[in-house]
Amino acid sequence: MKPQGLPIEVHDLTVSYQKKPVLYGVDLEIAEGSLVGILGPNGAGKSTLIKTIMNMIKPNGGYVKIFGDAPQKGIKRIGYIPQKESVDWDFPVTVSDVVLMGRYGHHGWLSRIGQEDRNKASECLEQVNMLAYADRPIGNLSGGQQQRVFLARALAQESEVYLMDEPFAGVDAVTEKTMISILREMQKSGKTLMVVHHDLASAKEYFDQLLLLNMRKVAYGSVPEVFTHELLQKTYGGKLAVLSEMATKVAKAS
Amino acid sequence: MNLIPKFDPVRVFLEPWSTPELISWNSQVILMGLLVCWASGMIGSFIVVRRMALMGDAISHGILPGVIIAFLAFGSLDVGPMLLGACLAGLACSFSIEWLQQNSPIKKDASMAIVFTSFFALGVTLINLQTGHLDLDTDCVLYGEIGLTPLAPNITLAGNNVGNRSLWVMGLICLIIVSLICLFYRQILVTSFDATLAHSIGLPVKSIQQFLMLLLALSTVASLESVGVILVVAMLVFPSVTASFFFSRLPSILVCTFPLGIAYTFGGFHLAYWLDCSIAAAMAITATVCFIAALGLCPNSFLWKIVAHKKSPHN
């Protein structure tokens, strides 16, 4: 018998918004220590899947289990990076405030944030090369710096599973390289990561497993198994223009 | 014709404090002003950073029918029932707004406008129906009269007169708001900034939001008789918006609302004394002046840019 369930197990998950189905019959089993890329066209339900795993959206059918537990219980073991658009960048907080928020989950209702938490936050900022910006308001950062801050916050959370919604959106090439190497390190230390991604060409190098999603699960498996013309065509369907553009990119890259 | 009375510093600044009776009366007015500004400024800062400034407007109008119904049910202007009625109506208002948003295609701003105007209209109609046998008049609810604070009945505790009832209620509410915000600052901050993170660390996001609405309703109803439903929104929004020109962290903004409250109260009081106008309106005007000054003087202000532009040798 296994000591605990899989980090993430999704069974026959169906989610709809105002009677329009967004996800339909999705089954998924993510093994510990996986680095999974989630690919699919706009409106394929990628963010919805993340939100449903995090118990922000109630599914119409099926279930999610986190380490074998119901999501209400398991959610505390999940860290996440929000989609860039969902963050209010004018909010009056500094970089270190945001990273410290990652420590809140380690405290009860009335216990105070201590020096230990501050040290941890600085350490995580150092890891993403953002320590020099600790006292800056988050609104004053570039797109790449903003995403690094949220990655530092995720590191400070010290969770076992991470869900990231387009962490590479609007990020410069250097930041993207730094971030992916950090994700790799996290994976090495046994973390499980699921990352929503939008760029087919880089997905192939960045991830070990891919989930192709378009309302239904098209395919899930290791990159060589899943990253085939046929399956990608099935995922991106009618969006041929996008696909051929991607195909050329992939061809050029290889 | 003389629209603006002559400005006489001695009359404006010293006369209100010249006799013991005036000092006693006016210090109660000033204290009330400070308490209203502080309570509203604190809770308002969170409302503003959550981009819910109009929610303050909505709640302040929405509590009206609750206050009137409580009055009708209990037949008295006692504070307890009034606060209870106001809180219930405030919560009903915020629930209805949320329900409309989630269960109909109506957008947030429109659903707010629909709910709070309906509630307010109901409140006004109820007041009018009752005009015959009730000394609650619409003007007082709409504009408030902070200058009459000292007329509130005194509270006697164990036979001793401990002071003005309105001041005690407002003081208590101010204390509750300030201490709850200090105590649960972290939880309120994270739910305001990133609800998903708050949810993932196991915080009851919805309850915290409702709790903020409850505090808002409390502070609004307690401020109602002093500044009225319309100007209370100014007291909610101005302090934090003005402070945010100079500070980029929420704690600094929260602290800054205290000196601003002092400036609004004293400025408004003496302005009203000079112009012989409503103190609440004068406080809001002072707040507006402070806001414009902050807009002009803040580090990134357009004024500095113009100055720098003129000085630049390349032009």
pLDDT tens per residue, range B231-251: 888 999 999 999 999 998 999
pLDDT of A134-182, one tens digit each?
999 999 999 899 999 999 999 999 999 999 999 998 888 888 999 999 9
Q: How many angstroms separate the CA atoms of B87 and B220, rounded?
A: 9
Q: What's the confidence (pLDDT) of residue B241?
A: 93
Q: What's the confidence (pLDDT) of residue B304?
A: 79
What predicted TM-score, i.e. pTM, was given to this entire model?
Answer: 0.86
How much of chain A, in percent, has pLDDT values that exceed 90? 42
Q: Distances from the Cα of B241 to the Cαs of A71, A149, A156, B46, B93, in angstroms? A: 39, 26, 31, 11, 25
Strands A192-196 and A35-39: parallel
Q: How many angstroms separate the CA atoms of A191 and A33, rounded?
A: 5
How much of chain B, in percent, has pLDDT values that exceed 90? 35
Contact map slice: A 29-58 vs B, CB within 8 A: 51, 54-56
pLDDT of B91-139, one tens digit each?
899 889 888 988 888 888 899 899 999 999 998 888 888 765 556 666 6
Q: How many angstroms separate the CA atoms of A194 and A213, rounded?
A: 13
Structural domains in chain B, sorted by start: 9-138+164-310 (1.10.3470.10)
Buried b (16+ CB within 10 A) or exposed e, B47-81: bbbbebbbbbbbbbbbbbbbbbbbbeeeeebebeb
Q: Answer whether B196's CB lies under 8 Å from A57's CB.
A: no
Q: What's the confidence (pLDDT) of residue A252?
A: 62
Q: Which chain B positions have a beta carbon within 8 Å of A103's beta carbon?
A: none
Tokens found for residue B105: 């295609």
Q: Specify the 3-state DSSP secondary structure of B124.
A: helix
Tell whether A108 is within 8 A of chain B (Cβ): no
Strands A192-196 and A161-165: parallel
Helix (H) or strand (E) holding A63: strand A61-66
Q: How many angstroms separate the CA atoms of A77 and A158, rounded?
A: 9
> What chain A residue is nearest to B105 in terms of C-alpha separation?
A18
Q: What is the ipTM of this complex?
A: 0.85
Question: How high does pLDDT run on average in chain B?
Answer: 86
pLDDT of B62-97, one tens digit each?
888 888 888 888 876 677 788 888 889 988 998 898
Question: How high does pLDDT run on average in chain A?
Answer: 87
Give the strands of the sheet with A8-17, arranged side by side: A20-30, A8-17, A61-66
| Angle in degrees, CA B137, B142, B147, rounded to 5 | 80
Q: Please name every residue paired with A30 in a beta bridge, in sequence order, or none if there are none.
A: A8
- The torsion of the CA quartet B97, B100, B101, B105, rounded to 10 degrees, works out to -150
Q: Which chain B positions have a beta carbon within 8 Å of A80's beta carbon?
A: 196-197, 200
Q: Answer whether B120's CB lies under 8 Å from B60's CB.
A: no
- pLDDT range class, residue B315, cuts 50, 70, 90: very low
Q: What's the confidence (pLDDT) of residue B1?
A: 53
Q: What's the confidence (pLDDT) of residue B187?
A: 93
What average pLDDT values come out for chain A (254 residues) when binned by 10 residues? 75 85 89 91 88 88 89 86 89 94 88 89 93 92 92 93 90 89 92 90 89 89 87 74 58 60
CA distance A111 to chain B (A): 10
